[in-house]
Amino acid sequence: MAGQTLDIKTPDGTFTAYVARPAQTPAPAIVVLQEIFGVNKVMRDICDDYAAQGYLAICPDLFWRIEPGVDITDQSEAEWKKAFELMNAFDPDQGVRDIRVVIDTIRSHEDCSGKVGAVGFCLGGLLAFTTATRTDADASVAYYGVGIEQRTGEAERLAHPLMMHVAEEDQFVPKPAQELILGALKNHPQIQIHTYPGCDHAFARKGGEHYNAEAAEAANARTAAFFEANLR
């Protein structure tokens, strides 16, 4: 049963999250962290896919402090312009504080087993990394996170497993940044890093310019096994 919304209450106000419920509950929850296009069809479809796999999936509206209800695509120049404006206005540290409230809210929900994971893409990939280092999420996955190279020192705080998917030809995470990430994190006992040769940013975004079905399938299979091992 998919396509419902849940109100998330914070001291600063209330925002919404898209929720997809699995056939059987209680179930482990997965917090899906948005790209720069808001809670759009791509994100809702990802939630629906996780629900079909037996997870309680929730995608919070992390741009709510700037503009609630953003739902745009990557298909026009005007939408890209708006997406970058939103990203530049967004405070990722405040975003993680909002994610912490989402985790607490869904963990205590009657449909949740008590286990909560997080998965994020692009901007959400950075947020998945900081969610792993700053919250009690049980397992986190970052797809082509942007800006992680500036925060690798946070891995010292990591108490739960983290998986990272790195596109080797990522235009937003250039080679020197990838080298910093790999050098700092590849031997961390809680971190698994997978790199994808020939792939550009957002290789797992269905319908996107750089979608790579083979790489997306490999990354998604690794993610599914990772969540199965850590959330069930």
- Kindly report, residue by residue over 164-198, the tens digit of the pLDDT: 999 999 999 999 999 999 999 999 999 999 999 99
Which residues partner with 15 through β-bridges?
8
User: In the structure, how many helices (H) and strands (E) does the chain have?
Assistant: 6, 8
Is 170 annotated as catalytic?
Answer: yes
| Domain map (residue ranges) of the chain | 4-231
120 SS3 class: strand
210-to-74, 83, 224 alpha-carbon distances in Å: 11, 17, 22
What integer best gives the mean pLDDT of the chain?
Answer: 96
Catalytic residue selected from 138, 170, 200, 210: 170
Spelled out in words, what is the top-level CATH class assigned to the domain 4-231? alpha beta
The torsion angle over the Cα atoms of residues 187, 191, 194 and 195, rounded to 10 degrees, is -60
| Number of CB atoms found within 10 A of residue 108's CB | 10
Candidate list 109, 165, 201, 210, residue with the active-site label: 201
Residue 1 has pLDDT above 50, yes or no: no
**Structural tokens at position 106:** 């869904």
Question: Over 80: is that where the pLDDT of 2 sits?
Answer: no
What is the spatial distance between Cα 172 and Cα 183, in angstroms, rounded to a whole number?
18
Q: What are phi and psi of 135, to 5 degrees?
A: -130, 180
Q: Is 74 a catalytic residue?
A: no
Q: Please report the pLDDT score of residue 3 as a whole number.
A: 74
